[in-house]
Amino acid sequence: MVTLNRESMSIMREIDVIPFRNRLKEYAVKIGMSLVNQTKIITAASELARNMLKYANGGKVTIEVVSKGRENGIRMVFKDEGPGIPDIDKAMKDGFSTGKSLGLGLPGTKRLVSEFAITSEVGKGTTVIVTKWKNG
């Protein structure tokens, strides 16, 4: 996988999510992603950004345009220094929530993207990396 372009933004308040979503949309349009895949990746991004705000008081997101063979895609790294997730398997289950919400953010995001990876350490923070291929 080769990175063609990289940009970081910090998400500290709810209003930061809007320029982030717009930027992501620009990249997705630029690489010629279909409307359905654009919608999927922006929705996933919206979920992960909310999690950072809600559970970790914010964090940083990096958007990258990546390429592998003939496929182009968008990769995003969401990194926070929040409380971390004690049981990732549990957090990845549909309906699990400590925030009195639907518990669809993490598992739903995984279904919406092509590649999904999460690492978390209690007391240190959480990192979620997702990739969506143009035709994936």
Partner 1 sequence: MEKIPILRMGNLLLVTIQVDLYDRLAETLESDLVQMIKKTGARGVLIDISAVSIIDSFMGRIIGNIATMSKILDAETVVVGMQPAVAITLVELGLPLNGVLTALNVEKGMELLKKKIAEEEPEEEEDHGDTE
Matching residue, tokens 């926070």: 80
Query: Which one, of 78, 75, 66, lies nearest residue 9 by Cα?
Result: 78
Kindly state whether residue 62 participates in binding partner 1, applying the rule CB under 8 A: no
Contact with ligand ADP (CB under 6 A): which of 101, 117, 124, 135?
Answer: 101
- Applying CB under 6 A, the span of 1-9, 15-23, 69-77, 96-104 interacting with ligand ADP comes to 96-104
Report whether 66 contacts 73 (CB < 8 A): yes
Binding residues for Mg ion (CB under 5 A): 51, 105
Kindly state whether residue 56 participates in binding ligand ADP, applying the rule CB under 6 A: yes
29: three-class secondary structure by DSSP: helix
Residue 14 touches which of partner 1, ligand ADP, Mg ion, none (CB < 5 to 8 A by kind)?
partner 1
Residue 82 touches which of ligand ADP, Mg ion, partner 1, none (CB < 5 to 8 A by kind)?
ligand ADP
CA–CA gap between residue 38 and residue 42 (Å, rounded): 6
In whole angstroms, how close is the CB of 48 to partner 1 at the nearest point? 10
Counting every residue written for the chain, the total comes to 136
Kindly state whether residue 96 participates in binding partner 1, applying the rule CB under 8 A: no
What is residue 135's DSSP assignment? Answer: T
Q: Where are the beta strands (DSSP E) in 56-124?
A: 59-68, 71-80, 115-121
Smaller CB distance to ligand ADP: residue 107 or 136? 107
